[in-house]
Amino acid sequence: MTLKEQLATISLFQSLSPADLERLSSIVVSQRFSRGDIIFSEGEEGRGFYVVMEGRVKIFKASFDGKEQILHLFGPGEPFGEVAVFAGRTFPAYAEAMENSRVLYFPRTAFISLIQKNPLLAMNMLAMLSERLHRFARLIEDLSLKEVPGRVAAYLLYLSDKQGGTSDVVLDIAKGQLASVLGTIPETLSRMLTRMTQEKLIASDGSNKVRIEDRKGLEKLASGEIRLSKSAGQ
């Protein structure tokens, strides 16, 4: 598949004409990162943004004592690092390859030049940024307003929707990383999943697969309408 054809598969660019895709392909740089490689660091100048083509990338903040809070997880076709670029600022967090990954890098100056010539591309960016802002606001709400069981329930429902509405959900990251996303610790997450299994909201055998047994009950738990019958801590 040519670079132009690869760009056409990315939702951000799907409405562009072949000529626009050709111009876009002329500024792109393909980069590879091994698992654990830092793609950019907090405070680094935002000279360009990225789109994941293979593998996965996490965006996270790190405290002085080494504690990590995952903010976003991105897979194939998803852009990242674009906010700092278009605001002309430094990156507000770290980006790390979660596995061997290939990304496309779009230099800021060249990309902005293309946007100035193609308003449709600017509209696509605005739509994508609006969706990103909505997702981030929901994360902040979950972390600040919901107890841990509600966060876990909300994430399982999110995964179910993301995976086509299936009841058989595959956890897309390791439980240790998922705990970080949900603002808790692995031991508490395991207790939550065990309690939800006991209350027949889900079925889980400890693997990365979870079956939603009672979607309405899970929705009520996520919204705070109900609580687990026994506290498992925070």
Q: Output DSSP code: residue 113.
A: H
CB-hemisphere CA count at 13 Å for 111?
20
The residue among 177, 165, 162, 170 whose CA lies nearest residue 211 is: 170
Q: What is the pTM of this model?
A: 0.71
Contact yes or no for 211/160 (Cβ under 8 A): no
Question: What are 180-190's pLDDT values in tens digits?
Answer: 888 888 999 99
Using DSSP's 3-state secondary structure scheme, residue 130 falls into: helix
Read off the amino acid at residue 42: E
Q: For residue 175, give every residue at least 6 positions away whose Cβ sits within 8 Å of its Cβ, in sequence order, or none.
A: 186, 189, 190, 208
Q: Which residues of the chain have pLDDT under 50?
A: 231-234
Instruction: Locate the DSSP E strands across 22-160.
Output: 29-33, 38-40, 48-54, 57-62, 68-74, 79-80, 94-97, 101-107
Whether residue 220 contacts residue 226, with contact meaning beta carbons closer than 8 Å, is answered with yes
pLDDT of residue 30: 95
pLDDT at position 234 is: 44
Between vectors from CA 75 to CA 73 and to CA 80, what angle results, nearest 5°? 65
**Cα of 174 vs its chain's centroid, Å:** 14
**Amino acid at site 55:** G
* Percentage of the chain lying above the pLDDT 70 cut: 91
- Facing residues of 62 across strands? 68
Residues 152 and 146 sit within 8 Å (Cβ to Cβ): no
- What is the per-residue pLDDT for 142? 62
pLDDT number for residue 62: 84
DSSP state of 229: S
Cα–Cα distance list, 118 to 20, 27, 204 (Å): 8, 15, 49
Alpha-carbon Rg for the chain, nearest whole angstrom, is 20
Q: What is the CB neighbour count within 10 angstroms for residue 124? A: 19
Show the CA angle centred on residue 22, arms to residues 16 and 28, nearest 5°: 100
Position 69 scores a pLDDT of 81
Q: What is the pLDDT of residue 56?
A: 93
Q: Which residue has the tokens 């895709």?
A: 21
Let me know how long the chain is.
234
Give per-residue pLDDT as tens, 150-166.
989 988 998 898 888 88
